[in-house]
Amino acid sequence: MERSAERTPVVELRDIKKYFGAVRALRGVDLALNRHEVLGLMGDNAAGKSTLMKVLSGAYIPSEGGIFIEGQEVHFASPMDARRMGIEMVYQDYALANNLDVAGNVFMGREVVRFKLGPFGVMDYPHMEKETKNLINRLKIDIPSVRQKVERLSGGQRQAVAIARATAFDAKVIIMDEPTAALSVAAIDKVLDLINQLREHGSSVIIISHRLEDIFRVADRMIVLRQGRKVCDTPVSGDIQDFRERVVAYMIGARNDFAEASPVL
Amino acid sequence: MTTSQDATSAPSPELAPAFDLRRLLRDNIRDYGMFIALGVIWLIFTFTTDGLFVSGRNLVNLVNQAGFIIVIAVGMTLVIVIRHIDLSVGFLAGFLGAVAAIAMTQWGLPVWVVIPMTLIFGILTGLLTSFLVAYVGIPAFVATLAGWLGYRGALGLVTRATGTIVIPNATFNALGGGFVPDIPGLTFLPERHKVTLLLGLIAIILFVVSSIRTRRNTGPQVDSLSTPLFVLKLVVISVAIAAIAWAFAGYQGLSWTAVIVLIVVLFYDFVTRKTVLGRHIYAVGGNPEAAELSGISVARITHVVFASMGMLAALSGILYSARLRSATTTGPLLLELDAIAAAFVGGASTSGGVGTVFGSLVGALVMISLTSGMNLMGIDNSVQYIVRAIVLVLAVVFDVVTRKTAK
Ligand SMILES: Nc1ncnc2c1ncn2[C@@H]1O[C@H](COP(=O)(O)OP(=O)(O)O)[C@@H](O)[C@H]1O
Ligand SMILES: [Mg+2]
């Protein structure tokens, strides 16, 4: 088989297992994400979606299994390792520091240094604020000032800040954990448009959602997790009603494309 | 946070009317409330003591008394910002002050060795605390309560044979009670200390220039003052600096304690506001999980903050024993609680992420001014504690209320 750079997945997870004590959150999951692809990730509560994505973002170290970036195996010891490899994640709870302003959150952990005074890096405020402004304009986010403290922002604005942070550094892969869960219909539209925009700009996106409509609208392919296992990996196509019925069957365990034995009906 | 809100359904923020007094008060009273409170307290004592309170002599005493509390309060603020507490620093300061005294009197080490050595001991003890907190996972309250007991015992042990250790070294003692010498041969203003006046002038110029430059660089923003208020702020603070420098210069000028406090406050203010390290400290305080996910090591920040606390405890011990010209068997009693009170009066918050170096400086000055003023007025000691209790509660209530209305 031909393995040109175009065909190698940007990210590949192989047989990922993650245990929290006795809880087996992931029981061996494979996942491949291709270039310019939007991948939907669905599953019931506690199926392991967030855990799987946190393994990819470096927040969790897998108990077993391998992570491959463009064909190369990597070992993430921390989220910073993953961010350095171009993997950014928008966490379900946004992971913002409410006491810092918008620019401070966008650049959290990656502050731009103007010059160093011994061990102290002096921050370049004007640069960070300008970059944040550009970013916010590009994403068409409605925020009055990049110096607004996050504690004063609404839920949608906070989420916009979290997304802005994930897209600030030309990420290869952007993971969004339930980005539409807390939003109004109009705000959901914006997020989905943004995902399309990111794909056009050359990023690959993984979106976790409970709303099949979202997945149907933006995703090229979809994976369903159930009880820590992948039960479905399918292109997104066809009629949404048929699609919904199939997905529900996978989610409740009536179907499983990856079962060792024949599926229990 | 209500999750149903979002960017598009929320009313887009209208441009604020040119002058909205309520908004103005709401946005600024939190930042400047403590300075105003300090001003009011000073005014009241000035009247009740017939001006004695603002005499150069009393102000110098005030600063020299407050010095060892201020440096601890600065360190404590950062500890509180990252959601911890340090109860051990009072006896730690006493213990390290005694170690410094012993190093000079019994080991015969020179001052210039003793001071850095004591500071390094302080850093090491701070790292011991942070090891327990960040590595072992013991709550700071418990870990430092153990420190409180342990250092109290250690202080008792090292002073058991000698009792109070008298420090004969004049250089060391000058840190607690000495004054910066004046330039000899200047004849103008014979009654005033010229170096102090010069420093005051430099401070005003630096303050005004840097304020204007910051404002010009960033332009008007939602949270910044309008131009007349900005000018008012510059004038008020400049006049305050001038008045204080003038009063100091009329007595014996700047004390070494004041110089050390200034250096500590300016350095920590710089680090917390301008540097990556400072930003990371506040990020960890605001949301430790988020900080960790952004690649900031919470453990590393915890080590740095407790190490700095230990170093400042050592400095505090040096200032305290230099002031008394001796190391006592009990050390500065209740120092840790004074520092914690100062930090909270200065606007720090128990929920973390909030608190500034200048706030704690003002908080410490408020508390020490109350003591000094009430002493001058001859108010009973027990009543003094109650007054300070009320001020502490008022300050925190003020903070809570203004924080709520700001949302
Ligand atoms: N940090 C953790 N410690 C212990 N158990 C966890 C942790 N994170 C997730 N789990 C458990 O792992 C399982 C999968 O959780 P999660 O990945 O959050 O599910 P999802 O995002 O699909 O709803 C759940 O049973 C959850 O309780
Ligand atoms: Mg989840």
CA A163 distance to own-chain centroid? 10
Successive 10-residue mean pLDDT values, chain B, 407 residues: 40 47 68 83 92 88 92 97 97 97 95 97 98 96 97 95 92 92 80 88 92 72 68 89 88 91 95 96 97 94 98 97 94 92 91 92 93 92 93 86 67
CA-CA distance, B97 to B164, in Å (whole number)? 11
Residue B5 and residue A154: Cβ atoms within 8 Å? yes
If asked whether residues B261 and B120 sit together in one domain, one would say: yes
Separation of CA A46 and ligand 1 centre (Å): 6
CATH number at residue B134: 1.10.3470
If asked whether residues B234 and B262 sit together in one domain, one would say: no
Closest C-alpha to ligand 1, atom 7: A20
Q: Is residue B204 part of a domain?
A: yes
Query: What pLDDT is recorded for position B213?
Result: 84
Phi–psi pair at A122, nearest 5 degrees: -90, 125
Is residue B24 within a helix (H) or strand (E), and if so which, with residue range? helix B21-48
Q: Is residue A152 part of a domain?
A: no
Measure the N-to-C terminal CA separation of chain A; round to a whole number of Å.
36
If asked whether residues B136 and B70 sit together in one domain, one would say: yes
Query: What pLDDT is recorded for position B202?
Result: 93
Q: Is the CB of B170 inside 8 Å of chain A's CB atoms?
A: no
CATH number at residue A237: 3.40.50.300
pLDDT in tens, B389-400: 999 999 888 878
| Distance from the A156 Cα atom to the nearest Cα atom in chain B, whole angstroms | 4
| B134: DSSP letter | I
Q: Is residue A166 part of a domain?
A: no
Q: Is residue B5 part of a domain?
A: no
Half-sphere exposure of B282 (CA within 13 A, CB side): 23
Query: What pLDDT is recorded for position B3?
Result: 40
Q: B217, exposed or middle or buried, with CB in 10 Å at 0-12, 13-18, 19+?
A: exposed
Cβ atoms within 10 Å, residue B7: 23
Q: Is residue A181 part of a domain?
A: yes
The total number of structural domains in chain B stands at 2
Which atom in ligand 1 lies closest to the alpha carbon of residue A208?
21
Query: What pLDDT is recorded for position B251?
Result: 87
Q: Is residue A145 part of a domain?
A: no
Q: Is residue A55 part of a domain?
A: yes
If asked whether residues B75 and B160 sit together in one domain, one would say: yes
- Structural domain span for residue A32: 2-100+172-261
If asked whether residues B201 and B330 sit together in one domain, one would say: no
Q: Is residue A130 part of a domain?
A: no
Cβ atoms within 10 Å, residue A115: 8
If asked whether residues B288 and B152 sit together in one domain, one would say: yes
Residue B9 and residue A99: Cβ atoms within 8 Å? no
If asked whether residues B71 and B134 sit together in one domain, one would say: yes
Q: Is residue B202 part of a domain?
A: yes
Residue A88 · residue A206 · CB < 8 Å? no
Which ligand approaches the C-alpha of residue A59 most closely? 1
Q: Is residue A162 part of a domain?
A: no
Query: What pLDDT is recorded for position A20?
Result: 95
The total number of structural domains in chain A stands at 1
Listed in sequence order, the DSSP H helices in A85-232 are 102-106, 125-138, 155-167, 185-200, 212-218
Best residue in A93, A99, A122 to probe B by mutation, most B CBs within 10 Å? A99
> Residues of chain A whose pLDDT is less than 50?
1-3, 262-265
Q: Is the CB of B283 inside 8 Å of chain A's CB atoms?
A: yes
Q: Is the CB of B5 inside 8 Å of chain A's CB atoms?
A: yes
- Structural domain span for residue B189: 182-254
Domain final residue pick, B196, B229, B254: B254
Q: Is residue A140 part of a domain?
A: no
Output the pTM of the full model.
Answer: 0.90
pLDDT in tens, A194-246: 899 889 988 999 999 989 999 999 999 999 999 999 999 999 988 888 889 88
Q: Is residue B130 part of a domain?
A: yes
Closest C-alpha to ligand 1, atom 16: A48
Q: Is residue B8 part of a domain?
A: no
Query: What pLDDT is recorded for position A141?
Result: 77
Least CB-CB distance to A154: which of B7, B275, B289?
B7
Closest C-alpha to ligand 1, atom 27: A46
Query: What pLDDT is recorded for position A5?
Result: 58
Domain final residue pick, B203, B228, B254: B254
CA-CA distance, A262 to A20, in Å (whole number)? 29
Structure tokens at B91: 């006896």
If asked whether residues B115 and B215 sit together in one domain, one would say: no
If asked whether residues B168 and B186 sit together in one domain, one would say: no
Does any ligand 1 atom lie closer than 6 A to the CB of residue A47? yes
CA-CA distance, B32 to B356, in Å (whole number)? 12
Q: Identify the bridge partners of residue A143 per DSSP, sorted by sequence position.
A: none
**Percent of chain A predicted with pLDDT > 90:** 63
If asked whether residues B223 and B263 sit together in one domain, one would say: no
If asked whether residues B164 and B312 sit together in one domain, one would say: yes
Query: What pLDDT is recorded for position B9?
Result: 40
If asked whether residues B206 and B339 sit together in one domain, one would say: no
Complex ipTM more than 0.85, yes or no: yes
Phi–psi pair at A67, nearest 5 degrees: -115, 130
CA-CA distance, B156 to B160, in Å (whole number)? 6
